[in-house]
Structure 1
C-alpha cells in the first residue's frame, strides 16, 4: 500500500483548507478520533500530518491545560496557518517516515485523514508506534473506499473523467486506504495489538454544491492540475450528481463514510 501523492500545497491553498475543509468535513471527525484513542488530561499527544491543526486543537481542548500536544506536518504552509489559528500550541515540521522524537515520547499518537498520502504507510505506522509509550494508543481516521461513498462516488467519477491522469490520480488517492482488512494488517505489521476498527458515516456540510466543489478543487493540489474550462465542467456535472443530497434550503449534506482504527503499543 503506497502512494506517490505528497499533497504539497502553497499557502493560499492551506488557507482554503482551513476555511472550508476543516468546518465542512474534518471538524466532525476530530472529537471522534480523540474519543476512540482515549485522550484524557495528563496525556502527551502527537498529531501526525496535522494539516492546519483541527485534531491538535481538539486534543488541546480535551487536555484543558493538563498535558501536552504537538502538531506535526511536512508542509510548512499548513503549519503557517496552524500557528496563526492557535499560536499557543506546539507546531513542528517533520516527516512521518522519520519522526523527530525519541522512542516512547507520547501516550497517544493520532493521524486524521492523511495515512493515504504517505509514500510508505507501513513505515509511517511503525514510526507512530515507535514514539508511543508501551500501553499507549495509535489512532487514525481514513475515508472508506470510494465504492462505499454514496455522495463522493459521483464527484470523484466526474473529476477523474474531466481532470486527466494527474487529477484522477490525486482524487483516487483519497480513498486508497478504505479496506479495513488491509488497515488492520498494517497496524499488526507495525507491532500494534488490540486493534479495533469502527466505521462511521459523517456528513460533509456546505452551503451549496458549488461550495463542496470549491473545497475539493481549491483546497487541494487539484487547482494546479486543471484549467478554468475543466473547473467549470466539474462544477456543472457535480451539480447533477449531488442534487439528491441538497436540502430544502439549498444546502448540501453529503454523507462521508470513514474508518476509525486504533491499536495499542505492547508493554
Structure 2
C-alpha cells in the first residue's frame, strides 16, 4: 500500500458516501450489523468507521443502554458521518486504530468494516483490537476478496489500464482488494492473540442505476481519482466515461448489477 492510498480528502468523502456506500458498502454493513446485534453488546468500538455506514445500520438495533464509539483517522470522513447520523449513544472520535486511546478490556465488541486493508501495520492494529476488547469478546471485521471476484472494481481497473497503458492506476487491486488471502488473515489474527478465528466468504450484489453511476463511484469516490488526476489533470471525465463503457458492455444499459465478494471474519479474544 502507498501512503496516498489512505488519503480520502477534498471532494472524495462526499462522492464516496454518495456513490460507493450504496454501491458496495451497504450490503455488508447490513450483514455485519446483523452479526453484531445478536451479540447484544453494551459497549461497542468501531474502528475505520469512515462515513458511518455500519454505525447507521447497527445502532438502531442496539439497546438504549449501549455505548458506541465510532472512530476513524480521517477527520473529513468522520465529520461527514457525524453530520449524517445523530444518536445520543454514539460518540464520534478521531483515533488511530494502531494506537487506540482506550483502556484494556474496555469494550464488549470491536468492529472494523473494510479498514484492515488500509492499516500500515495490521499486526499492530489487531493487537490493539485484542487489547481493548474484553476477554471472550469478538472482533468482527470484513475485507474484500480478490478483485477478480468483484465485477465493477475489476472492470474499472481494466478500463483505466487501457487509458494509461504505461502506468495503469492499480489502487483498487493493490489496496482494497490486496488483502484477501484467508490463511494469512487467520494467521495474523492468531499471532495478534486471538483464539478462535472464523472466516466466511459472503457474496452479494452491487446495484447502480446506470453504468455511469457505478463508474463515478470508483473514479470520483476513491483514491482512484487522485491516481487519474496525477496522470492526467483533466482526464477524470474521460476516465469515468471509459469505465462506464466497459461496465455497460458487460452489464447493459440502464440499471446494472454486478457481483461483490468479501471475507467476513469473527475473531474471539
Quickly say closer, same or farther: Cα 1:17–1:149, change in 2 above 3 A. Answer: closer
Question: Is this contact kept in 2: 1:3–1:116, CA < 8 A?
Answer: no
For residues 258 and 34 of structure 1, what CA distance do their matches in structure 2 show? 15
Question: Is residue 183 of structure 1 aligned with residue 193 of structure 2?
Answer: no
* 1:13-48 deviation line (CA, Å, top 9, x unaligned): 211112211122111111211333465444211111
Cα distance, 1:215 vs structure 2: 0.8
Quickly say closer, same or farther: Cα 1:181–1:106, change in 2 above 3 A. Answer: same
Cα distance, 1:151 vs structure 2: 4.2
Question: Is this contact kept in 2: 1:31–1:58, CA < 8 A?
Answer: yes
TM-score by length of 1: 0.89
Cα distance, 1:187 vs structure 2: 1.1
For residues 25 and 165 of structure 1, what CA distance do their matches in structure 2 show? 26
Structure 2 equivalent of residue 257 of structure 1: 261
For residues 45 and 60 of structure 2, what CA distance do their matches in structure 1 show? 14
Cα distance, 1:234 vs structure 2: 4.8
Structure 1 equivalent of residue 234 of structure 2: 228
Structure 2 equivalent of residue 244 of structure 1: 250
Q: Secondary structure at the match of 1:256?
A: strand
Quickly say closer, same or farther: Cα 1:149–1:239, change in 2 above 3 A. Answer: same
Question: Is residue 8 of structure 1 aligned with residue 7 of structure 2?
Answer: yes
Q: Secondary structure at the match of 1:196?
A: strand
Q: How many residues align?
A: 262
* 1:174-233 deviation line (CA, Å, top 9, x unaligned): 101111111111111111111111111111111111111111111123223323335414
Q: After superposition, where does 1:37-56 map in structure 2 within 5 Å?
A: 37=36, 39-56=38-55
* 1:40-63 deviation line (CA, Å, top 9, x unaligned): 444211111000111112221120
Structure 2 equivalent of residue 133 of structure 1: 134
* 1:89-108 deviation line (CA, Å, top 9, x unaligned): 21000111101111111111
For residues 150 and 141 of structure 2, what CA distance do their matches in structure 1 show? 19
Structure 1 equivalent of residue 65 of structure 2: 66
For residues 161 and 42 of structure 2, what CA distance do their matches in structure 1 show? 42
Question: Is this contact kept in 1: 2:153–2:218, CA < 8 A?
Answer: no
For residues 162 and 195 of structure 2, what CA distance do their matches in structure 1 show? 41
Q: After superposition, where does 1:111-150 map in structure 2 within 5 Å?
A: 111-150=112-151
Question: Is this contact kept in 2: 1:37–1:137, CA < 8 A?
Answer: no
Cα distance, 1:80 vs structure 2: 0.9
Question: Is residue 32 of structure 1 aligned with residue 31 of structure 2?
Answer: yes
Q: After superposition, where does 1:13-24 map in structure 2 within 5 Å?
A: 13-24=12-23
For residues 166 and 153 of structure 1, what CA distance do their matches in structure 2 show? 13
- How large is the Cα RMSD of the aligned pairs? 2.2
